[in-house]
């Protein structure tokens, strides 16, 4: 069955048509800043894709943040202009097609399970390391959505009670340390302190312009400061992964999201830090940490799978 899947990211809205496990069409637009414009963009992406593949009749949408089981985006820290938006109803109404909506990390999990790194796995935690951190959970073969559909907000697990303030209102959330934002923040701190000339150079000479990508690029070039920051971030990543291990006992971790593109510099340090921090390791089978295989398209592919496999849909 041909289905359309769309992933709403912090910078782009990416739509695909999936046909029998293959992506056969793709369209992307920048992420707008208001709810009204977001609905219009989603409708536009579907229409573009149906211009290519006319018989794609089910639409799935993956959204960041708290997406409830009625297809309403309740709250999304990374889309500050958007709250309480009935995405499924509005897009379905504009298109006259069934629309299913779920959390973006949960969609990525569905995709990696169906055709990526987690094929045939029963208990999987997929962690998206990007600007923030999200998680998709599959336990005992069942995708965990939670009472409202909000499960998997792993980035807002507090790992340091009086830690760095988070836009969510708490302090010490995991994503303040282990995400691309955390890596960028530490890069700026080191840059401002005059200890990271390579990072500042990559950022065009402005210490305050250092971002996570500059750190991973410098680390790839062998810069000592960047490598140390990657190790530090890897250690924070391991803190949260071991928490998830304790709570959920997955058979594997899949790492996805923007930072997965820096797998060459990140995966080694994360795996090493995980092994250092793992508890009662002698009584547990080892748990693999693997990279996602579907890249930036995972969320959109998973949204299409969700639409095609009988989610609750508005139409």
The residue ranges that bind a copy of itself (CB under 8 A) are: 66, 74-75, 83-84, 122-123, 135, 137, 139-140, 142-154, 156-161, 168-170, 236, 239, 242-244, 246-251, 277, 279-280, 283-285, 287
Q: Of 85, 80, 30, 87, which is closest to residue 62 (Cα–Cα)?
A: 87
Beta strands in 2-77 (DSSP E): 2-8, 12-19, 22-30, 58-63, 66-67, 72-75
Structure letter (DSSP) for residue 296: G
CB of 113 vs a copy of itself, minimal distance in Å: 14
Radius of gyration of the chain (CA): 19
CB of 183 vs a copy of itself, minimal distance in Å: 17
Burial of 278 from C-beta contacts in 10 A (0-12 / 13-18 / 19+): middle
Helix/strand/coil for 51: helix
Structure letter (DSSP) for residue 158: B
CB of 193 vs a copy of itself, minimal distance in Å: 22
Residues facing residue 137 across a β-bridge: 125, 144
Nearer to a copy of itself, 93 or 163 (CB): 163
CB of 292 vs a copy of itself, minimal distance in Å: 19
Nearer to a copy of itself, 48 or 231 (CB): 231
CB of 248 vs a copy of itself, minimal distance in Å: 5
Nearer to a copy of itself, 30 or 169 (CB): 169
Residues facing residue 63 across a β-bridge: 103
Q: What is the rounded distance in angstroms from the CA atom of residue 190 to the CA atom of residue 197?
A: 9
Nearer to a copy of itself, 83 or 95 (CB): 83
Q: What is the rounded distance in angstroms from the CA atom of residue 211 to the CA atom of residue 232?
A: 16
CB of 172 vs a copy of itself, minimal distance in Å: 8
Nearer to a copy of itself, 7 or 153 (CB): 153
- Residue 201 CB neighbour total at 10 angstroms: 14
Structure letter (DSSP) for residue 314: B
CB of 171 vs a copy of itself, minimal distance in Å: 10
7: its two tokens: 């992933």
Nearer to a copy of itself, 12 or 277 (CB): 277
CA distances from 135 to 12, 110, 188 (A): 20, 12, 27
Nearer to a copy of itself, 101 or 244 (CB): 244
């Amino acid at each position: 069955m041909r289905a359309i899947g769309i992933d709403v990211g912090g910078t782009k809205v990416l739509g695909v048509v999936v046909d029998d496990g293959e992506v056969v069409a793709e369209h992307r637009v920048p992420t707008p800043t208001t709810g009204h414009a977001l609905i219009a963009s989603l409708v536009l992406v579907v229409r573009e894709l149906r211009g290519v593949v006319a018989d794609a009749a089910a639409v799935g949408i993956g959204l960041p943040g708290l997406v409830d089981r009625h297809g309403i985006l309740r709250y999304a820290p990374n889309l500050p202009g958007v709250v309480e938006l009935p995405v499924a109803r509005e897009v379905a109404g504009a298109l006259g097609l069934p629309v299913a909506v779920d959390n973006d990390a949960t969609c990525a999990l569905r995709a990696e399970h169906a055709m990526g790194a987690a094929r045939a796995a029963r208990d999987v935690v997929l962690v998206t390391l990007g600007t923030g951190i999200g998680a998709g959970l599959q336990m005992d073969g069942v995708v965990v959505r939670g009472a409202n559909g909000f499960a998997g907000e792993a980035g807002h697990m507090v790992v340091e009670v009086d830690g760095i303030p988070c836009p969510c209102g708490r302090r010490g959330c995991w994503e303040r340390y282990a995400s691309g934002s955390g890596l960028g923040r530490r890069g700026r701190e080191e840059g401002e302190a005059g200890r990271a000339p390579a990072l500042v150079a990559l950022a065009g000479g402005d210490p305050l312009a250092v971002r996570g990508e500059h750190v991973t690029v410098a680390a790839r070039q062998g810069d000592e400061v960047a490598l140390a920051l990657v190790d530090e971030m890897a250690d924070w990543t391991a803190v949260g992964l071991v928490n998830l291990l304790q709570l959920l006992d997955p058979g594997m971790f899949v790492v996805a999201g923007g930072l997965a593109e820096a797998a060459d510099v990140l995966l080694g340090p994360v795996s090493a830090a995980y092994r250092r921090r793992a508890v009662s390791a002698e009584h547990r089978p080892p748990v693999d940490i693997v990279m996602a295989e579907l890249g930036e398209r995972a969320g959109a592919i998973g949204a299409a799978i969700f639409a095609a496999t009988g989610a609750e849909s508005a139409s």
